[in-house]
């Protein structure tokens, strides 16, 4: 057996071992793909939200399409063959070997998109958010002032600013004070929330426990006075208007629809002055007291550096800074509200399946 014969057989053996080692690719792909797909879905959803916020700012209708299903299909095929031929005789003798192999890898993921249209869009984006939808967020320590600023149109007799209120943006001056006080009570653990599950609809209760924080009693008294409720007992949050003449232990809350929330955020997006002069959009609206917008969106004709979220609309770039923590928190709440609003609908929309690969 000469040296060439030995090399051929060693090469064939190495090819067989390589194919055997690649025979199972599932665990490795799962480890990489689960995180990669989750990261990509999160980024795309943020871009879609910002894209629609800007479209609303310029008077275009929003359009949302969610990924309903992902199927990642992989296949690995391999073949290997080897042979040995030898000729032995008195005159000459020769020995030679042959080896061959092939590997075929296929990656064909398929994504199913479901556009939100018709009854499903009405249910998700035009139905006012119920208090039962948002109260678990308060239990999860989402800042109550920011949450109510986005979602609530009125709490008790106090009115939030209206998205279409013009430059003055009508609203109750005390609304901001109540939200600030509720945030203090939430952070100190005084604000307690309880959900009672009834047959028809969950009932929501809150109360103020000042035993461990007696210094907050004046704050509680101010909240109760501004909301025109009776302190000292458990209070129920109900959907409604204060003109309904509810009992003193009920707090009526008028909530916005998700489209109303998006419209309120969009109204405060800063746009180029030439777009206002040309009639493409209206002037940026500001809240009473010059409060900072919940989400600060920047704009430029050129692509910005890496940011928290970026979207291009009408050849202009809009983005949220990755160093703007307050805007990132508000944007995250907006994403959660979208998930809450879209989840109850059971109406099956038309789907578009796009095979990629």
Mean pLDDT on 74-96: 58
Domain regions of the chain by residue span: 130-256
pTM over 0.85: no
- 126: tokens are 């035009």
Least confident piece of the model among 127-141, 175-189, 292-306, 323-337: 127-141
The whole-number pLDDT of residue 351 equals 43
pLDDT averaged over every residue in the chain? 78
pLDDT over 80 at 308, yes or no: yes
Q: Which long-range contacts (CB under 8 A, 24 or more apart) does 105-108 make?
A: 105/74, 105/75, 105/76, 106/73, 106/74, 106/75, 106/76, 107/72, 107/73, 107/74, 107/357, 108/73, 108/355, 108/356, 108/357
Lowest mean pLDDT among 113-117, 154-158, 251-255: 113-117
Tens digit of pLDDT for each residue in 262-299?
A: 999 999 898 989 999 999 988 888 766 667 899 999 99
Whether the CB-CB separation of 80 and 19 falls below 8 Å is answered with yes
Starting at the edge strand found earlier in the chain, the sheet holding 152-155 runs 158-159, 152-155, 250-255, 235-239, 203-208, 191-196
pLDDT in tens, 57-79: 999 988 887 666 666 666 666 66
């Amino acid at each position: 057996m000469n040296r060439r014969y030995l090399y051929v057989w060693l090469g064939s053996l190495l090819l067989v071992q390589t194919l055997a080692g690649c025979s199972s690719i599932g665990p490795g792909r799962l480890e990489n793909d689960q995180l990669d797909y989750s990261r990509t879905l999160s980024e795309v959803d943020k871009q879609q939200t910002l894209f629609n916020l800007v479209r609303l700012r310029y008077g275009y209708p929003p359009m949302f399409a969610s990924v309903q299903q992902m199927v990642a299909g992989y296949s690995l095929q391999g073949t290997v063959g080897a042979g040995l031929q030898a000729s032995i005789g008195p005159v000459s003798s020769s020995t030679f070997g042959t080896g061959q192999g092939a590997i075929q890898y296929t990656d064909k993921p398929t994504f199913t998109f479901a556009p939100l249209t018709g009854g499903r869009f009405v249910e998700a984006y035009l139905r006012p958010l119920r208090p039962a939808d948002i109260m678990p967020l308060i239990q999860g320590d989402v800042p109550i002032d920011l949450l109510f600023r986005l979602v609530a149109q009125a709490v008790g007799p106090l009115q939030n600013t209206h998205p279409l209120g013009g430059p003055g943006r009508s609203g109750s001056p005390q609304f901001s004070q109540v939200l600030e006080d509720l945030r203090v009570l939430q952070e100190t653990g005084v604000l307690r929330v309880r959900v009672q599950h009834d047959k028809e609809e969950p009932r929501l209760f809150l109360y103020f426990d000042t035993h461990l924080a007696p210094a907050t009693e004046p704050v509680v008294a101010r909240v109760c006075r501004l909301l025109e409720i009776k302190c000292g007992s458990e209070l129920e949050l109900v959907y409604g208007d204060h003109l309904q003449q509810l009992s003193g232990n009920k707090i009526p809350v008028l909530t916005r629809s998700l489209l109303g929330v998006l419209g309120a955020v969009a109204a405060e997006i800063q746009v180029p002055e030439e777009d206002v002069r040309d009639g493409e959009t209206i002037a940026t609206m500001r809240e009473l007291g010059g409060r900072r917008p919940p989400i600060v969106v920047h704009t430029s004709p050129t692509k910005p550096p890496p940011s928290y979220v970026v979207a291009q609309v009408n050849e202009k770039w809009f983005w949220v800074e990755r160093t703007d923590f307050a805007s990132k928190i508000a944007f995250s709440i907006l994403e959660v509200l979208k998930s809450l609003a879209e989840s109850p609908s059971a109406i099956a929309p038309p789907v578009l399946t796009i095979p990629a690969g």
